[in-house]
């Protein structure tokens, strides 16, 4: 623990700075790092999606060209005039026949004018005559043998047509040496076979037009199901491992990451041609883009950290500088005997200004409190001196009283000796000013002494009945708390000429409280107040007792006064406090009951 504290900063400024770095900057950097990693993966997925979309466009373009070839064959098969000419070519003039058929092929091509690649038609009728929609490289001759060969090939296959991916290009002036051709026999249900149709697409021209919208960093390659390259837009060869992986996957579409070539590969399979159209994108483009983005983020993060550090130091200085001034003021307070004040500079915050004002007020209050304590100490010393002087006379009186008591006993005056004994007990208790709380039985003893003295004065005019619970005999009560109440009853509550009065003194426990009651059956306070001279000084003892209760018990002590024509009741409520002698000699069960509130 000590070693850890040694390494921790002790100043508030440094702790604030470390707290900001630990709780804000480090989580922010970690969050940005993981966010960037997530962005990189999302960016890679986005590139794969774009490649797939582009791959899908190429695939659709190729299948559309093939679909147009199928549609052109249907249009040829449904043209009755063309069927009649090719079924019976000898009935027509060769030039007229050639002109009609070429116009038919030209019309079909015009119907596909919106397509990016032209269709090349080559028809052979049943007599071997050849018709083309283009200017051939060689002179047209009778192709009866070619018609018969294709008739045999198509009959041997499971389809009435066949695609040739690397057909020879006989179109004059056409770029490339390969055509993608659809060979199909022309049949009629009524007249049977009447010729052969070859509908060709310049695959290299289509490939070149397709690559116009292709990104520069994306490679497009077409290879056969045997792994032979058909076309590619760049000289870089496709890796053999990737070719084997694509062929062995036996799926129509897919994509994967080539770890060796550091590229993303997307492919589609054209079943009718047994072709794989493959798109390849180097990850270097993605890495360069991510690297640029990473550099921008790191630069922004560095600037943010520098600004954050500067702002943190500025705010920490603004916060801790006034505290440092306050610390210096506190250290100087004892040296300068509290003669120090903190001056708040202009621009200080409301919190610092309030803290400085509170410190200055605290210094003023401490100075005032010390002055008051010094004054009270001087007053206490003066009172103590006076009390020492005043105690000299009571001690002289007590000694004199003891002398009278012994003289009375010598002269066998028992009544006078008893009065002296009772008065001596009261006088001795009053001299012991250090003790404020005494056991209830001691207070009852003082009250009985007072009763024995008053009995000689008023003879048989009053009686005191004591009703106290045994369990509260050692409960602590204020000294001389019952005697003033009994004195009021005797001196002011009774009409001594009209009979005998009764005073009840009760003590009981109610929960955690001690209840003391002094009740008489006298004339009541209102009647006594109407008699002049009878109640002079009445109330001084009660007010004195009430003030003592407040000083000793604060709000836990209470004095209640109830008076009517049938008498007066004074009730005192105190906290129930049991003295030590009770717990040593008395019944422990009662103590437990009082503590638990029963």
**Interior angle at CA 453, CA 447 and CA 458, nearest 5:** 110
Listed residue (572, 575, 573, 574) closest to 595, CA to CA: 575
Residue from 253, 256, 277, 275 nearest 265 by CA: 256
Q: What are phi and psi of 564, to 5 degrees?
A: -150, -170
Q: Is the pLDDT of residue 590 over 50?
A: no
C-alpha to C-alpha distance for 369 and 382, rounded to whole angstroms: 20
Nearest in space to 512 (alpha carbons), one of 442, 597, 593: 597
Beta bridge pairs of residue 162: 183
Question: What is the percent of the chain where pLDDT is above 70?
Answer: 73
169 contacts 160 by C-beta, under 8 angstroms: no
**pLDDT at residue 449, rounded to an integer:** 83
Give the pLDDT of residue 596.
38
For the cut 90, the answer to whether the pLDDT of residue 515 exceeds it is yes
Residue 281 has pLDDT above 90, yes or no: no
| Residue 175, pLDDT above cutoff 80 | no
Main-chain phi, psi angles of 168, to 5 degrees: -70, 145
- Run of H or E residues at 307: helix 283-335
Query: What are the beta bridge partners of residue 257?
Result: 264
Residue 533, pLDDT > 60, answer: no
Least confident of 21-35, 64-78, 275-289, 531-545: 531-545
- The per-residue pLDDT for 594 is 38
Residue 376, pLDDT above cutoff 70: yes
CB 519 within 8 A of CB 506: yes
pLDDT in tens, 216-246: 556 778 888 777 777 777 665 567 778 888 8
Pairing of strands 130-132, 119-125: antiparallel
Distance CA 63, CA 65 (A): 5
Task: Check: CB of residue 308 under 8 Å from CB of residue 25.
Answer: yes
Question: Can you give the pLDDT at residue 2?
Answer: 47
Q: Could you tell me the pLDDT band of residue 509, with boundaries at 50, 70 and 90? A: very high
Does the structure show a pLDDT above 90 at 574? yes
Q: Does position 345 have pLDDT exceeding 80, yes or no?
A: no
Average pLDDT value for residue range 14-18? 71
Contact 294, 37 (CB under 8 A): no
> Mean per-residue pLDDT for 488-511?
79
Give the up-direction half-sphere exposure of residue 300: CA atoms within 13 A in the CB hemisphere.
10
Q: What is the DSSP letter of 337?
A: T
> Cα separation of 183 and 181, whole Å?
6
Q: What is the pLDDT of residue 583?
A: 45
Quick: pLDDT tens for 396-447: 565 566 666 667 666 666 667 677 777 766 766 666 666 788 899 988 988 8
Given this model, what pLDDT does residue 392 score?
A: 45
In this predicted structure, the answer to whether residue 357 has a pLDDT above a threshold of 90 is no
Q: Which of 92-106, 136-150, 281-295, 367-381 has the lowest mean pLDDT?
A: 281-295
pLDDT number for residue 498: 62
% of the chain with per-residue pLDDT over 90: 8
Contact between residue 273 and residue 180 where contact means Cβ atoms under 8 Å apart: yes
Q: What tokens appear for 74 in the block?
A: 């249907």
Task: Kindly report the number of other CB atoms within 10 A of residue 313's CB atom.
Answer: 13
Residue labelled with tokens 């204020």: 478
> What is d(CA 520, CA 542) in angstroms, rounded to the nearest whole number?
15
Question: Residue 301: what pLDDT?
Answer: 76
What tokens appear for 180 in the block? 């993608």
* Residue keyed to tokens 């890679």: 44
Of residues 239 and 571, the one with the higher pLDDT is 571
User: Is residue 343 helix, strand or coil?
Assistant: coil
DSSP code, position 218: E
Pairwise CA distance, residues 102 & 62, whole Å: 26
Average pLDDT, the chain: 76
Banded model confidence at residue 204, pLDDT cuts 50, 70, 90: confident
Nearest of 210, 198, 168 to residue 73 by alpha carbon: 198
Asked if pLDDT for residue 128 goes beyond 80, the answer is yes
Partnered with residue 256 across adjacent β-strands are 265
Does residue 389 carry a pLDDT above 60? Answer: no
Closest-CA residue to 597 (of 508, 487, 488, 513): 513
Least confident stretch, 11-25, 299-313, 548-562: 11-25
* Cβ–Cβ under 8 Å, residues 164 and 154: no
Token pair listed for 295: 């550099």
- Say what the pLDDT of residue 595 is: 37
pTM (whole model) above 0.85: no
Orientation angle between helical segments 94-111 and 80-87, nearest 10 degrees: 140
């Amino acid at each position: 623990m000590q070693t850890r504290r040694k390494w921790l900063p002790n100043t508030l400024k440094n702790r604030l700075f470390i707290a900001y770095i630990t709780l804000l900057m480090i989580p922010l950097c970690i969050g940005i790092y993981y966010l960037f990693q997530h962005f990189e993966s999302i960016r890679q997925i986005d590139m794969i999606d774009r490649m797939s979309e582009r791959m899908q466009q190429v695939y659709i373009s190729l299948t559309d060209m093939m679909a147009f070839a199928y549609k052109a064959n249907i249009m040829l098969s449904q043209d009755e005039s063309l069927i009649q000419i090719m079924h019976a070519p000898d009935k027509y003039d060769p030039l007229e026949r050639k002109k009609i058929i070429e116009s038919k092929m030209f019309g079909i091509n015009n119907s596909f004018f919106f397509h990016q690649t032209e269709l090349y038609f080559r028809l052979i009728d049943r007599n071997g005559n050849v018709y083309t929609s283009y200017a051939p490289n060689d002179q047209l001759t009778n192709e009866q043998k070619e018609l018969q060969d294709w008739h045999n090939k198509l009959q041997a296959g499971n389809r009435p047509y066949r695609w040739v991916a690397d057909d020879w290009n006989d179109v004059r002036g056409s770029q490339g040496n390969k055509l993608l051709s659809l060979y199909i026999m022309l049949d009629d249900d009524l007249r049977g076979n009447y010729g052969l149709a070859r509908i060709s697409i310049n695959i290299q021209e289509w490939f070149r037009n397709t690559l116009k919208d292709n990104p520069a960093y994306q490679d497009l390659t077409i290879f056969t199901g045997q792994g032979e390259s058909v076309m590619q837009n760049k000289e870089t060869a496709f890796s053999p491992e990737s070719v084997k992986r694509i062929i062995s996957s036996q799926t129509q579409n897919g994509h994967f990451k080539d770890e060796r070539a550091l590229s993303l590969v997307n492919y589609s399979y054209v079943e009718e041609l047994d072709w794989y159209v493959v798109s390849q994108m180097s990850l270097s483009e993605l890495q360069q883009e991510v690297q640029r983005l990473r550099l921008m983020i790191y630069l922004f993060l560095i600037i943010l950290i520098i600004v954050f550090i500067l702002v943190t130091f500025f705010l920490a200085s603004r916060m801790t500088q006034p505290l440092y001034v306050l610390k210096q003021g506190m250290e100087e307070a004892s040296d300068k005997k509290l003669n120090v004040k903190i001056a708040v500079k202009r621009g200080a915050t409301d919190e610092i200004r309030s803290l400085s004002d509170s410190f200055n007020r605290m210094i003023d209050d401490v100075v005032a409190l010390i002055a008051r304590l010094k004054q009270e100490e001087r007053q206490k010393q003066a009172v103590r001196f006076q009390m020492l002087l005043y105690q000299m006379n009571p001690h002289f009186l007590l000694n004199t009283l003891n002398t009278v008591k012994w003289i009375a006993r010598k002269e066998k005056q028992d009544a006078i000796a008893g009065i002296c004994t009772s008065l001596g007990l009261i006088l001795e208790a009053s001299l012991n000013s250090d003790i404020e709380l005494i056991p209830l039985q001691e207070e009852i003893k003082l009250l009985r002494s007072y009763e024995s003295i008053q009995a000689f004065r008023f003879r048989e005019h009053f009686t005191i009945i004591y009703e106290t619970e045994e369990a509260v005999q050692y409960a602590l009560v204020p000294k001389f708390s019952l005697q003033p109440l009994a004195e009021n009853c005797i001196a002011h509550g009774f009409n001594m000429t009209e009979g005998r009065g009764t005073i009840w003194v009760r003590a009981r426990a109610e929960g955690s409280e001690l209840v003391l009651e002094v009740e008489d059956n006298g004339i009541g306070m209102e009647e006594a107040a109407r008699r002049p001279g009878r109640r002079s000084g009445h109330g001084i003892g009660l007010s004195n007792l009430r003030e003592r209760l407040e000083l000793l018990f604060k709000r836990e002590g209470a004095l209640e006064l109830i008076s009517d024509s049938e008498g007066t009741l004074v009730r005192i409520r105190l906290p129930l406090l049991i003295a030590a002698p009770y717990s040593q000699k008395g019944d422990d069960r009662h103590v437990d009951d009082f503590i638990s509130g029963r």
